[in-house]
Structure 1
């Protein structure tokens, strides 16, 4: 099936066309691109229409890509309502939009893209694939916050988790590489990019994750603070910051940007090599926070089959992986620097022989995951309809 995947972010809309009948990831890509957009474009139909004109022009360059059989959308927040890929309807679009308060940079853009895609390709089925869905299996004792019951019920304040599309595919690929059934995989999966999270996977299911009700909780990230004392928020507000200003500070002006002066790990790594103290401290904080979570989640999953690094930083930053593993020697993990430095593509082991469990680098491919989930749902629907007709 030829699936157009739309992945809207805060500053750009990525698109891919994938042929799900082709097993090789790279060979399945028929077209891809990225269209930068201003925040206004996500809510202005005429501007969003111009963005889709650019996508159409990109698709027109490939005969195969021009034949779209389905559209798959990455949606960051599905709340409690969406626990699996879902056919897009007007009600689904409205629900995704209502969840925008929990993912303001992403959900409104996803809803707008669904509407525009429905106008552009009215006869093409659309599927929403949710980042939060993989984490719906987190038990209540890990998902609940210790806050009053009325607040929890009124606002559904709980741990939802994110990066689920990437983590689920990393688990599937890691299980295949290790030769274990996906349904029995125990792993700690670190998706580390500009946004970062770590997930405890037991029996192939998410049982805890570092991100919470929103993507702000957990690890230090490119521009997000991650875990902080909640009193810091109160302090900023008492000093005159509005809720919107606090949100701007913690989501867009914190993290590695605040610590090192840049959110780009390539620049941080270069600064560390130059001997800049701020960059070295930033990398130490970044790696230490992740190592703490990995150690805790190794206990949660009991007997890990693997520690998995995925995401742009997790896959590409040799220095970062080395720093993290240096903290995890008590777990019996040691880095093999020759393997760690190897530029080999695909899944690979970077830990030393004799480690208590392997450390893997698994390339992230959210677009492939979304395309496959879209095709699978639509094929199931087709089989169900045929069965009912009989």
Structure 2
């Protein structure tokens, strides 16, 4: 029997969706509704190799869900005949309440909303999408799959900040980590590529997109990750600072007269490689650096230097590293970033094959030299498939 899952990723101003065959990994349809709550709404819907783009009026998430339903009705596949067995929802923050994916009921939804102080831009939008989807598909089980759940195995020594413990406890301050569905999927795919069981495999996964995070995975279990209480901590990103002295906040408040919201905006939206170079897209950054732009060159060096620091740290955490794995848009496609991240790490047993690194492919591949003790893999991520599979696991566990 065909088992397909409608995967929904509801953001504050967008709604992404896919119909995924959880058994063979194929996507029957992929879509995006943009500019929810603003003028100029647009829907793109791709199925059977054809992409359809239309303007839509989407004042809220209910209207966006209705537009999605109309796209399926007009362009296919018919949802009633698609073999749907569940709806899987991406939820960014599960706090300490959710160590795994769960079937959504009123109590779960209330808990997701209650965690909004930890993810104010994401959880309310995730909850809004869940509400309208449950109303539109009342006969299907709905499952929440949390970005943070994979990282709840990170031990206290790694997730605890050296902050006054009463304040930390009162405000739920700890390292949560994000990109968990990607790290879970890619770490298992890397073990399979190596012909090993996940519980016998140690990998460092570098999820490098506009947002970026590193994860140390020991025996299939996350034991450390670079993002923290929020997705701001860790690696240099497209627009985010990554690691920065927290006293910079006090300094800007005192010397520049900036309030908390203004500093938040700078750290999250105007920093990273964009703040350093004026360019957010890694392809543009690399091109500019190669053409002699000093700001772009420094931004690329800072980006790769931070990656090397985390690779060294996580090699120490794991003790034995079987593979370094690159994934997501930058990780899968930028040979210069991969080369820069691994430069000088031969003493850790990491030897990159320059020719293999230049090969472009959508398939998983090994780009290390034959003699490298640590393999270097490029594994395309598939967060939607991971959400679909986790949703099915929850449904199957309930009989």
TM-score by length of 1: 0.93
Report the alpha carbon displacement of residue 76 of structure 1 after superposing the two structures with TM.
Answer: 0.9
Contact 2:186 2:379 (C-alpha < 8 Å) held by counterparts: yes
Tell whether the 8 Å contact from 2:326 to 2:332 is kept in structure 1 after alignment: yes
**Secondary structure in structure 2 of the residue aligned to 1:100:** coil
Check whether the contact 1:79–1:99 (CA below 8 A) recurs between aligned residues: yes
The equivalent of 1:103 in structure 2 is: 119
Contact 2:29 / 2:77 at 8 angstroms: preserved in 1?
Answer: no
The equivalent residue for 1:195 is: 211
3-state secondary structure, aligned to 1:136? helix
* 2:50 is equivalent to residue 33 of structure 1: no
Q: Any idea what the Cα deviations from partners look like across 1:258-287, whole Å, max 9, x if unmatched?
A: 011121112112212222111111010001
**Structure 2 unaligned regions, length at least 5:** 40-57
User: Residue 65 of structure 1: CA displacement?
Assistant: 4.4
Match of 2:277 among 247, 253, 260: 260
Counterpart of 2:370 in structure 1 is 353
Q: Aligned to 1:179, which of 192, 195, 211?
A: 195
In structure 2, the residue corresponding to 1:217 is in which secondary structure?
coil
Counterpart of 2:332 in structure 1 is: 315
SS in 2 for 1:63: coil
Query: Gapped runs of 5+ residues in structure 1?
Result: 383-390
Q: Deviations over 1:163-217 (max 9, x none)?
A: 1100000011011110111112111111110000101111211111111111111
8 A contact 1:30–1:65 mirrored in 2: no
Distance 2:129 2:344 in 1: 43
Q: Does 1:53 align with 2:66?
A: yes
Give the corresponding residue for 1:234: 250
1:281-300 matches, within 5 Å, as 281-300=298-317
Match of 1:72 among 80, 85, 88: 88
TM-score calculated relative to the size of structure 2: 0.91
Pick the aligned partner of 2:384 from 367, 375, 378. Answer: 367
Matched residue SS, 1:101: coil
CA shift in 2, pair 1:125/1:248, >3 Å: same
Alpha-carbon distance in 2 for matches of 1:11, 1:261: 24
Q: After superposing the two structures, state which structure 1 stretch, 292-301 or 12-21, moved more.
A: 12-21
How far did residue 343 of structure 1 move?
1.7
In 1, Cα distance between equivalents of 2:264 and 2:120: 11
Instruction: Give 1:302 shift.
Output: 0.8
Runs of at least 4 residues of structure 1 off by over 4 A? 38-41
Over aligned residue pairs, what C-alpha RMSD do you find? 1.7
- Whichever structure has more helix as a proportion of its residues is 1
Aligned residue number for residue 143 of structure 1: 159
